[in-house]
């Protein structure tokens, strides 16, 4: 393999044109093989191989600084910068994270996983260089999908005025995760169609110098242009047109399905990540389609990640005008949804837990201050073995502490359906629902609760001495703990399903004082600022003891769920041990 001879970027310069091309093919094959085993970002990495080779050929990393956006396209970079074993040797496949990671070496400046950050970060790197009187190239690589995020646009606006070496490579593969959305993308197309010669140029309007590399998978063309901008003394955008999924025919044809794939997906010859069978995703989407058909005011919104919610093409086409993907633009998604609600539409907006924090000001100001009646569906919330950049443990503290918001956490199918139904029908307030991130369970009977009566918890089992509040995903854990408590200590615990995360059921909590010594809260998320602390505060000046369970304040990084559950004592036997210490 040519790759055998590449141990660091400098080795690329020993290769001739043909060898560089072969290298690209080798790298692509390794990516296909590896990602089919581990899962991961597929299409974006296949498309960016040549760009990465040319970047490392022309610039002098790590002296020159590369800042990768969102890291969807950092695999080739990792292969060239001393981490190829993670792609060659199946036993090493999991050694390196799928994102840029400074702990893996000096070629990665930042730990990045949320989109739209590279240009802003690169501004800081360039400014620090100038303040310190140093000389090197600062190069941000941003995919077209990330361009529409507020942070990217703010960064582009500011970067244009740096008056110094500042190179932004825009990887335009004409595709975000799903299709692109926004006027910006029409301009990218216009620039492609006019060979970059059009004067009406988004980047030039901001003040950037501009180059187009139309054949963005041609290493020689890339090297030629990168050589032109190397050591440039002002901000420049290099617009590189690449083929997403290049080298894997199915991925070239179906760019959305192959953006990120599950292990083994290529064997099935379909990158489709949408699962089959009944689950909280499928019942949500059945509900949405039914409601949307009945009521033309229903409108379904997300920001560039329809796959997370199982919103495939068929689903989107069925909704037609009642569906908006705003692209990667979470702030806009929230404000847009709020205004729709205020103007007589019925928005249902879905967001992945990890991305709630991308639109905090809008949640507070545009949505809750205006008390707009919409439904916000929070998906994937809970402790997980995810990469540090994609943790989903922060949504409860983020959402529950905003005035006017109602945050619901259902525990089984019929309850979830009743909450959804209520939320969509009511006209009073914003309602967020934490879509359960566990296997679907059904009780087989309708839930007739009137959820407009806020903060009413539900007693599922009457007991005494110990009361266990099992929130959402952790309701089954509450039941298991109660069972073990019965077996081990002979205590029949009261089991409570709080349902409402945003307030205390004072009456019920007061009533527990008469025959309970200990209240336990179980929540699948961060303890700090969460549901449990609210309960602890409530009982602060009473004799009731309280134990809060949830995750600690830390960025875990691909730590196994079992290890985390043990660390946080989220297992029936560990909880019963703790209970013993407190009440015996």
> CB neighbours (10 Å) of residue 233?
9
> CB neighbours (10 Å) of residue 75?
27
**Whose Cβ is closer to a copy of itself: residue 31's or residue 67's?**
67
Element (H, E) at 250: helix 249-253
Overall size of the chain counted in residues: 584
Residue reference for tokens 């581990």? 38
CA gap 377, 343 in Å, rounded: 20
What are residue 467's DSSP bridge partners?
A: 494, 519
Closest distance between a copy of itself and the C-beta of residue 348, in Å? 13
Task: Pick out residues in 358-377 that bind a copy of itself (CB under 8 A).
Answer: 358, 360-362, 364-366, 368-370
Which parts of 135-217 fold into alpha helices (H)?
Answer: 150-159, 183-193, 202-206
Task: Pick out residues in 21-80 that bind a copy of itself (CB under 8 A).
Answer: 65, 67
**555 vs 52, 385, 505, 560, 566, CA distance in Å?**
29, 11, 32, 13, 16
Element (H, E) at 76: helix 75-80
Contact with a copy of itself (CB under 8 A) among 218, 254, 404, 461 = 404
**Whose Cβ is closer to a copy of itself: residue 273's or residue 399's?**
399
Q: Could you give the string, one character per residue 420-459, with x where binding to a copy of itself holds by CB under 8 A and - elsewhere? A: ----------------------------------------
**Whose Cβ is closer to a copy of itself: residue 265's or residue 396's?**
396
CB distance 209 to 174 below 8 Å: no
Closest distance between a copy of itself and the C-beta of residue 176, in Å? 12
Task: Pick out residues in 505-544 that bind a copy of itself (CB under 8 A).
Answer: 518, 526-530, 532-534, 536-537, 539-542
CA gap 46, 191 in Å, rounded: 23
CA gap 367, 371 in Å, rounded: 6
Coil, helix or strand at residue 265: coil
Task: Pick out residues in 274-333 that bind a copy of itself (CB under 8 A).
Answer: 296-297, 299, 321-322, 324, 326-327, 329, 331-332
Number of H helices, E strands in the chain: 22, 18
Q: Could you give the string, one character per residue 170-199, with x where binding to a copy of itself holds by CB under 8 A and - elsewhere? A: -----------xxxx-xx----------xx
Task: Pick out residues in 203-232 that bind a copy of itself (CB under 8 A).
Answer: 204-208
Rounded (5°) CA angle 28-149-524: 85
Check residue 129 for interaction with a copy of itself (CB under 8 A). Answer: yes
Contact with a copy of itself (CB under 8 A) among 137, 171, 338, 353 = 338
Closest distance between a copy of itself and the C-beta of residue 52, in Å? 21
Element (H, E) at 315: helix 313-319
Contact with a copy of itself (CB under 8 A) among 112, 240, 432, 435 = 112
Closest distance between a copy of itself and the C-beta of residue 226, in Å? 22
Contact with a copy of itself (CB under 8 A) among 270, 282, 357, 455 = 357
Coil, helix or strand at residue 65: strand
Q: Considering CB under 8 A, how many residues would be counted as binding a copy of itself?
A: 119
């Amino acid at each position: 393999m040519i790759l055998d001879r590449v141990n660091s970027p400098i080795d690329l310069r020993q290769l001739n044109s043909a060898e560089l091309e072969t290298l690209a093919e080798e790298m692509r094959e390794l990516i296909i093989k590896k990602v089919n085993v581990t899962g991961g970002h597929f299409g974006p990495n296949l498309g960016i191989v040549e760009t990465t080779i040319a970047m490392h050929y022309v610039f002098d990393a790590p002296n020159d600084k590369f800042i990768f956006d969102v890291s969807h396209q950092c695999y080739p970079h990792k292969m060239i910068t001393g981490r190829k074993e993670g792609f060659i040797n199946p036993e090493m496949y999991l050694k390196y994270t799928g994102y840029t990671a400074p702990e893996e070496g000096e070629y990665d400046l930042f730990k990045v996983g949320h989109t739209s950050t590279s240009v802003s970060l690169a501004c800081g790197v360039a400014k620090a260089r100038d303040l310190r009187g140093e000389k090197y190239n600062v190069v941000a690589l941003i995919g077209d999908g990330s361009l529409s995020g507020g942070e990217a646009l703010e960064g582009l606006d500011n970067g244009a005025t740096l008056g110094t070496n500042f190179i932004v490579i825009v990887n335009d593969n004409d595709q975000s995760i799903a299709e692109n959305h926004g006027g910006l993308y029409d301009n990218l197309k216009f620039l492609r169609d006019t060979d970059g010669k059009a004067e009406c140029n988004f980047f030039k309007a901001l003040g950037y110098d501009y180059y187009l590399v139309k054949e963005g998978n041609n290493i020689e063309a890339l090297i030629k242009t990168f050589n032109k901008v190397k050591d440039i003394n002002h901000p420049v955008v290099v617009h590189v047109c690449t083929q997403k999924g290049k080298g894997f025919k199915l991925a070239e044809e179906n760019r959305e399905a192959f953006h990120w794939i599950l292990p083994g997906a290529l064997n099935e010859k379909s990158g489709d990540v949408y699962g089959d069978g009944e689950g909280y995703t499928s019942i949500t989407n059945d509900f949405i389609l039914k409601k949307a058909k009945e009521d033309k005011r229903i409108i379904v919104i997300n920001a560039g990640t329809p796959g997370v919610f199982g919103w495939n093409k068929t689903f989107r086409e069925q909704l037609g005008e009642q569906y908006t993907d705003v692209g990667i633009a979470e702030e806009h998604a929230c404000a847009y949804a709020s205004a729709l609600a205020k103007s007589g539409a019925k928005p249902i907006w879905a967001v992945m837990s990890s991305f709630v924090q991308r639109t905090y000001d809008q949640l507070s100001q545009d949505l809750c201050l205006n008390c707009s009646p919409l439904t916000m569906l929070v998906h994937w919330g809970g402790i997980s073995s995810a990469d540090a950049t994609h943790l989903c443990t922060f949504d409860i503290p983020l959402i529950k502490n905003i005035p006017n918001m109602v945050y619901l956490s259902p525990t089984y199918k019929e309850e979830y359906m009743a909450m959804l139904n209520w939320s969509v029908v009511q006209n009073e307030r914003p309602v967020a629902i934490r879509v359960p991130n566990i296997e679907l369970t059904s009780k087989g009977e309708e839930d007739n609760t009137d959820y407009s009566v806020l903060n009413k918890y539900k007693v599922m089992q009457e007991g005494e001495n110990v009361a266990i509040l099992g929130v959402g995903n952790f309701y089954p854990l509450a039941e298991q703990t109660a069972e073990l408590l019965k077996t081990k200590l002979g205590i029949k615990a009261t089991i409570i399903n709080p349902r409402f995360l945003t307030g205390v059921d004072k009456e019920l909590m007061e009533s527990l004082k008469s025959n309970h010594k200990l209240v336990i809260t179980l929540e699948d998320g961060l303890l700090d600022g969460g549901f449990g602390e609210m309960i602890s505060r409530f009982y602060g000046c009473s004799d009731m003891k309280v134990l809060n369970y949830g995750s600690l304040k830390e960025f875990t990084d691909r730590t196994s769920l079992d290890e985390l559950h043990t660390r946080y004592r989220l297992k029936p036997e560990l909880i019963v041990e703790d209970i013993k210490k407190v009440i015996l």
